[in-house]
Chains A and B, each alone.
Chain A
Amino acid sequence: MSTDNSSKPAEASAGAASSNPGPSENGEDEKAAVYECNICLDTAHDAVVSMCGHLFCWPCLHQWLETRPQRQLCPVCKAGIGKDKVIPIYGRGNPNPQDPREKLPPRPSGQRPEPENTGGFPAFGFGDGGFQFSFGIGAFPFGIFTSSFNMSDNRPGPPQAGSPQHTEEQFLSRIFLWVAILFLFWLLIA
């Protein structure tokens, strides 16, 4: 058992990192770095390894998978990944190993904001509404353009000039034009 040197470094470094966090020689540091989680950059705890060979703490990976449930990719190499596509790792120091995947969720799954929600930047004061707002500005003018162009172009039989219908339509398209102009003006000064 003690002759099996190849399996030793994992145990030694994991032990060193958790029970002896003080300064160690450089070689030890590098060995420990090999067992760092690719997400928190700490020595992996409740470790799992993906099919593509990348190591994570299960809590870290789980949180990433929950962040983008529709697009579960390995953070390192973008290979497909998922709860049933990782293998838990049990070191010797763990007397009664339990699959880390059974221990979760460590936090309620209800608190998942959308990936692009930037609740973390309260300084800007933009909530979800901020996103809607900038989207609306981007798309709206084009909608107006198309509708006012259509009004003059795609009309099969324009009514006779001077007829009541004609005046009414002219009136309507003029309103649309003014709305568009006002909106553009507002855009410019906003």
Chain B
Amino acid sequence: MASMEKRLQKELLALTKDPPVGVKVNTDAITKNLAEWTVDLEGAPGTVFEGENFQLQFKFGSRYPFDSPQVMFIGPNIPLHPHVYSNGHICLSILTDDWSPALSVQSVCLSVVSMLSSCKEKKRPPDNALYVKTCSKNPKKTRWWYHDDSV
């Protein structure tokens, strides 16, 4: 637990001191042991999400950074994107199979922003209705049954 907190402390310091464009940690929403964060994201200018604001929730387990954090969109505005389900779950491989302990809150945020930025057409994933009905609350568990082939 201690090593996870220590690393998150460093990440928090770096992110608040030198935040990337469009990424802002909501320091008020961070829990005491640093296990839960909320990050405000801005849709990048010149993309379909320009002018929109989103909230990304991070939950860290005690095995962070060896285990990926649980990351999902929360709040009133869930981006309308082919890889984002209406319950906030995100289909992004670095959040499960392609996670690496060299990744960070910052790099996850930047990946999510760039995923949003590459979107041309605002729409939900084709299996949204079924997925939202049957998935686990924890987005980290669900990738398995719709991306079985990559295992």
Contact = CB atoms under 8 A, between A and B. Distances in A.
Nearest to A130: B136
Nearest to B96: A116
Contact of B102 (A38, A63, A113): A38
A138 B145 contact: yes
A115 interface: yes
B142 interface: yes
Chain A residues touching B, range: 20 to 34
Contacts of B140: 116, 118
Given A41-B10, A131-B144, A118 B101 contact: no
B3 A124 contact: no
A149 interface: no
B114 interface: no
Given A40-B3, A63-B66, A116-B96, A134 B142 contact: yes
A39 B145 contact: no
Nearest to A67: B66
Interface string B47-69: 00000000000011111111100
A39 B70 contact: no
B13 to A, nearest CB: 10
Interface of B: 3, 6-7, 10-11, 59-67, 70, 96, 100-103, 133-138, 140-142, 144-146
Interface of A: 38-42, 54, 60, 63-64, 67, 73, 75-76, 78, 113, 115-116, 118-121, 124, 126, 130-131, 133-135, 137-139, 187-188, 190
10 contacts: A42-B6, A54-B102, A67-B67, A75-B103, A118-B61, A126-B136, A126-B138, A131-B136, A138-B145, A139-B145
